[in-house]
Structure 1
Amino acid sequence: MRVCVVGAAASGLPSIKACLENDIDIICYEKTSDIGGLWNYRPDEKNIEGTVMATTVVNTSKEMMAYSDFPPPEDWPNFMHHSKVNEYLHLYADHYHLKDYIKFNTAVKYITEEKSSFKVQLENGEVEHFDKVILCTGHHATPYHPQLRDVDKFKGRIMHAHEYRDIKGFEGKNVVLLGIGNSALDIAVDLAKIAKSVTISTRRGTWIFNKVAAGGMPYDTLYMTRFFQQHPTVNDALANLICSGLITVTDDVDTFTADKVITKNGRSFDCDVFITCTGYVIGFPFLDPKILTIEVCSLQYTPQFSTLIDYNRVKFMENSRKFYIRKLPQNEVSLYKFVFSPNNENLAVIGMIQPIGSILPISEIQVN
């Protein structure tokens, strides 16, 4: 049996290892020059590949983010700088000799089905055939850009968090960030050092936790319970910066002028740079859609509820005026057990999840 793995990062590496442990003929294609994916820091903001910020420190302790059979060195900090995470992935790959099975600087152009196998076309013109395919490309490649009213009136800079690397060029600027996830808060804390003003616009707020809990223990070694069904945001510095007036939190953005952002409660903020921290779009541009379908939801606006709903998924209760609305993402992919394509059992997708905690051990479980 021949297996193709696409992507050599947090999900691709354990996929290679699992195949080798089962004596499977494996080739992994990685379009960049090194392993690591997001954790392989590249400072060029124009690089289309996703990467972390210069100051990124993980929000998950090293004990909870490690692969089960390869703990990080004991003398490493509980919460690692991104360079340590990348180093850890290299140590893991070197220990199990995984790099021998990776073809670097080799991008997959298109994957189609041919009878009982997959035809894999590479950007360099080569064509290979495989019995099974494992996709490990993650979901941080294509930024989601929300539709914003009157944004065309704004004359300042608009960018996505995907482009942000460091504080250079933001000195003395009025910055407004849309969103309140980990990326938004990390950028806000970073910019509070040098920007004239930093404002976070949020639709509904979030729970904020420190990385270290009572007694000095990493929070995720104590609190991984069903209490965290709502995704929390982890940041140690935010609260103090809000109390100090260096960061302002406001409601959702409504409209724009040439140099201001107006929120729905009527507040006005000077703005030179507007950063959308609105997540990413799931996509496999190199995959025949017949193999795996990305569902783009048909959404309609209902003023009564001020929300987007999919009328196909509204469930009415008999003999009652009550009904429930399921809020849907802009796109989604249906996977059996979050791994297997319902259209082809020989295609697996590893790491296409947004866990509370690290993706590394979950990817390892999925692969096994």
Structure 2
Amino acid sequence: MTQKRIAIIGAGPSGMAALRAFESAEKAGAEVPEIVCYEKQGDWGGQWNYSWRTGIDQYGEPVHSSMYRNLWSNGPKEALEFAEYTFDEHFGRPISSYPPREVLWDYIDGRVRQSEAKSKVRFATAVRWVQFHEDTETFTVTVEDLRSKQTTAATFDHVIVATGHFSFPNVPDVPGIETFPGTLHHAHDFRGAEKLADKRVLLIGASYSAEDIGVQAYKMGARSVTMSYRSRPQGYDWPEGMEELPGIQEIQGQTVHFSNGEVREFDAIVLCTGYLHKYPFLPTELALESPNNIYPDHLYRGVIWQKNPRLSYLGAQDQWFTFNMFDAQAWYVRDLILGRAELPSERERAEHMQSWRNRFMALETDADDVQFQADYIQDLIEATDYPMFDLDEVVKTFLDWKKDKKANILTYRDKQHRSVMTGTMAAKHHTRWLHELDDSLERYLGAPKEDEMRSRFEADDADEDIERLPLQERIQR
């Protein structure tokens, strides 16, 4: 019998989860298919594989990563921790709950660093087209080696799309934006807030990108930060110098008119307007088209393409959970391919999807969303041998995180949470996030001199009001 062949498109956290899932089965004695993973970047990690480049990369391809230099996790690491590879195991000691991007990349890389998984990845290789043949029930995957410029095609029995959906920016038209003379770009092309120092900054959008780039700009000394929302404000207790205003009526040069009659002038605009589900390598009948939500239509159990179950998607939904959800999805897709799990009939799949869609449509609050996604992950894990973990406790961690942000948007990253996997309480980072200007792995894992820690980072609670002042005034004090 001919061995099955599996194509994984993308080697970010979702693609790495798929590689790890098959590797786990193989180490347990299972016979696994031949796997080829295509990744157009030079290394794995997806969004976490930071690049200074924007727009077009060195091969003339659209830059994939939307990561910026001084990003720190905006959610507690205890909510994304792998169930079968903990932060304690990787770093050998507790670390803080909100690490910077380089630390998180090191963690996801570390799980598979010593394995054979990397040998299955063809880096600097872009997938150009995927074609399904009904007569043979196989896919032809056409790729281009970006280094040699050679185009080749290969046949596969299953295709796993693991490219994510935060790479193709949604860029709306704003009346008069073409007249704006300052710096203007989408969050996808944002690479650091240092250049926003002493600038009047407008962020168009009211979700995580606007929130995080906004506080980064504040941290780096922006003169003012304004966030424009379309439907509802984020509603945090913003420090002096940060504000939220409703939708933009018109831009006239540096002057922006808001729908409530307010008028402001700006030096820089960042479009925090989200991303598109876009898969240019897939024909229409295979391509997911969906708003960014936690239960996209047409995906059985959130992963299997209803119209063709030989195609699956990992990480296609909006995300509260991330790395461990990708694992749960990858383990389930793996078991379907290996024949360990049975794929229901088309009618049964449709009924299952509809029941979950009905529940999804009834969600009202963030707490509802988090619980829904936790239940979704539990449903997947119960169908596989992925280690079960206390999802209710992770939900509590998320809700505590939300409360911390409401209490103080500038200091929530200084809070500590307990690992659901190990029971370990996170360490207190040596430097308050608002004061930490070095985001490197070395600095994060190091220990500053005692006098530096005392003078800069161990102020008592009475000094917290100082953190709500603009950077220049904080430095003066």
TM over 0.5, shorter chain:
yes
Distance 1:121 1:16 in 2: 20
Equivalent pair of 2:277/2:288 in contact (CA under 8 Å):
no
Equivalent pair of 2:66/2:190 in contact (CA under 8 Å):
no
Q: Which residue of 2 aligns with 1:163?
A: 189
Name the SS of the counterpart of 1:294 in structure 2. Answer: coil
Q: Which amino acid is the alignment partner of residue 273 of structure 2?
A: T
Q: Which amino acid is the alignment partner of residue 271 of structure 1?
A: F
Q: Which residue of 2 aligns with 1:102?
A: 121
Name the SS of the counterpart of 1:129 in structure 2. Answer: strand
How far apart are residue 293 of structure 1 and its match? 4.7
Counting only pairs closer than 5 Å after superposition, residues 287-366 of structure 1 correspond to structure 2 as 287-294=282-289, 334-356=298-320, 358-366=321-329
Do structure 1's residue 87 and structure 2's residue 106 form an aligned pair?
A: yes
Do structure 1's residue 38 and structure 2's residue 47 form an aligned pair?
A: yes
Q: Which residue of 1 aligns with 2:223?
A: 196
Tell me which of 166, 179, 183 is aligned to 2:209: 183
Q: Which amino acid is the alignment partner of residue 42 of structure 1?
A: S
Q: Which residue of 1 aligns with 2:281?
A: 286
Name the SS of the counterpart of 1:75 in structure 2. Answer: coil
Equivalent pair of 1:70/1:92 in contact (CA under 8 Å):
yes
Name the SS of the counterpart of 1:11 in structure 2. Answer: helix
Name the SS of the counterpart of 1:266 in structure 2. Answer: coil
CA offsets 1:262-289 (integer angstroms, 9 cap, x no match): 1100101101221110110001101122
Do structure 1's residue 119 and structure 2's residue 127 form an aligned pair?
A: no
Equivalent pair of 1:58/1:81 in contact (CA under 8 Å):
yes
Q: Which amino acid is the alignment partner of residue 22 of structure 2?
A: C
Q: Which residue of 1 aligns with 2:266?
A: 271
Distance 1:127 1:14 in 2: 25
Name the SS of the counterpart of 1:125 in structure 2. Answer: strand
Distance 1:78 1:181 in 2: 21
Moved over 4 A (4+): none
Distance 1:346 1:99 in 2: 24
How far apart are residue 97 of structure 1 and its match? 2.8
How far apart are residue 338 of structure 1 and its match? 1.4
Q: Which amino acid is the alignment partner of residue 107 of structure 2?
A: Y
Equivalent pair of 2:233/2:244 in contact (CA under 8 Å):
no
The TM-score normalised by the length of structure 1 is 0.77
How far apart are residue 29 of structure 1 and its match? 0.7
Structure 1: give runs of 5+ residues left out of the alignment.
209-238, 297-327
Distance 2:305 2:171 in 1: 27
- Which is strand-richer, 1 or 2? 1
Equivalent pair of 2:141/2:156 in contact (CA under 8 Å):
yes
How far apart are residue 175 of structure 1 and its match? 1.2
How far apart are residue 295 of structure 1 and its match? 5.9
Do structure 1's residue 72 and structure 2's residue 93 form an aligned pair?
A: no
Name the SS of the counterpart of 1:13 in structure 2. Answer: helix
Aligned CA distance change for structure 1 residues 295 and 188 (closer, same or farther; 3 Å): closer
How far apart are residue 205 of structure 1 and its match? 1.2
CA offsets 1:169-221 (integer angstroms, 9 cap, x no match): 3333221111122211221112223323211112311265xxxxxxxxxxxxx
Name the SS of the counterpart of 2:110 in structure 1. Answer: helix
Distance 2:195 2:76 in 1: 32
Q: Which residue of 2 aligns with 1:58?
A: 73
Distance 2:288 2:80 in 1: 30
Distance 1:66 1:139 in 2: 21
Distance 1:161 1:292 in 2: 25
Distance 1:148 1:333 in 2: 29
Counting only pairs closer than 5 Å after superposition, residues 131-280 of structure 1 correspond to structure 2 as 131-192=157-218, 193-203=220-230, 204-206=232-234, 208=236, 239=237, 242-243=238-239, 245-280=240-275
How far apart are residue 109 of structure 1 and its match? 0.8
Aligned CA distance change for structure 1 residues 196 and 293 (closer, same or farther; 3 Å): closer
Name the SS of the counterpart of 1:12 in structure 2. Answer: helix
The TM-score normalised by the length of structure 2 is 0.60
Q: Which residue of 1 aligns with 2:33?
A: 24
Equivalent pair of 2:179/2:253 in contact (CA under 8 Å):
yes
Equivalent pair of 1:112/1:120 in contact (CA under 8 Å):
yes
- Which is helix-richer, 1 or 2? 2
Distance 1:64 1:150 in 2: 42
Structure 2: give runs of 5+ residues left out of the alignment.
58-62, 145-149, 332-477
Name the SS of the counterpart of 2:286 in structure 1. Answer: coil
Over aligned residues, Cα RMSD in angstroms? 2.0
Aligned CA distance change for structure 1 residues 207 and 154 (closer, same or farther; 3 Å): closer
